[in-house]
Structure 1
Amino acid sequence: MNSRDVDHDDNLDLESLSDDELAGAAAVGDAEAFDLLVRRMSPILLRYMRRMVSEPQTAEDLAQETLLDTWKGLPDFAFRSSFRTWMFAVAHRKTVDYYRRRRDLPTGAERFEELVARGPQPADTAEHSALMDALRAELGNLPHTSRAAWWLKEVEGLTLVEISEVLRVSTGSVRGHLQRSRKFLVTRLAPWQPGARSDEASAATGKGGRS
């Protein structure tokens, strides 16, 4: 990538630079450019980490570690992808390492059929919750890689190719994770869909036919 030559005496407005241009400037030692990049990326990164890791303090710690690693790695970052894609890739590895240390990382073989059958339906435990509350709860039930793929696609707007770079899997695998995640979420969140009748919600939660 050709980074713009950042000389603050030339009255260059850092705010006008793209994320990749800021990263290019930071890679050659511009700390002010990296500070601005951190301010831009921190809310996005922390939002992602909080979906991947349930403990708020751990999510914040991992986000800080990710930013530190990107700062250290910038001189060797060859811009084979966008900075944001690379940042998410570093963040993903951080969460995978975290779960491996705890030895509770869901495997790729985890079956969605088992997830659907496991535990109470959302309406049993969050009967008065809003749809977004139920969605956040159900995202936590997805296998780690599937949850990451769904979030990066639906919330962060990454392409299949970018997600494959972040997760280090094929685009076909990303597509499979997205299809299974969407099917799972549609099933679990059916009672909250517009137009869902109370009897349909009851049937979805196994309450139909009770007297």
Structure 2
Amino acid sequence: MRDSINIFDSKVLKKTKVDDKNMVGRILKGDERALNYFYRHYNHSLYTYISRKIGQKEDIEEIVQDTFLATLDGLRDFAFKSSVFTFICSIANHKIIDFYRKKRIKKIVFSKFEEVEPLLSQLFGPEEALDGEILKQKIKETFSKLSPSYTLILKLKYVQGFTVEEIAQKMSISFKSAESQLFRARKAFTFVFNYGK
């Protein structure tokens, strides 16, 4: 019992190679040490893998976290037909594709409103052009219901493309405050966009 508790301690890790099936089995049973090991063991490699395809540090970190969460959700169905890291990378690839798709859509929906419709037509195809018009109107309505500070920070980020650090400088606030305000602004935008209030 003592060995099973200590097997994921950092000193033991240097001497012991933990087998993937054993590690996954422990994670699925709720073993927190196995989960911590899993994260420490794959975090650097995953970060490096994603950083080859994504430029911004904060985006890389977000995709790393999303990938780990999705991996944990998928471990129960993992059949060990590949290595655990290959499985993680396949999930990361989907997250990277999602990231670029969302980034492209964000760029479109937060751009000048008169340009949204033709861009949406290019993105979604002519059969969905009407949806683009509806979306454009809905975005206008959403912004009109947000506080000016939320509208400002969202436009700085998604229209003008500033990093969180640059936004903090422009607004004369700390990085953490800018990050927090941006998080709340996105949440408010999503809520108003979905529920209209």
Using structure 1 for the length normalisation, give the TM-score: 0.42
Q: Flag the structure with higher helix content.
A: 2
Using structure 2 for the length normalisation, give the TM-score: 0.44
User: Per chain length, whose mean CA-contact separation is higher, i.e. which structure has more relative contact order (CA < 8 Å, sep 6+)?
Assistant: 1
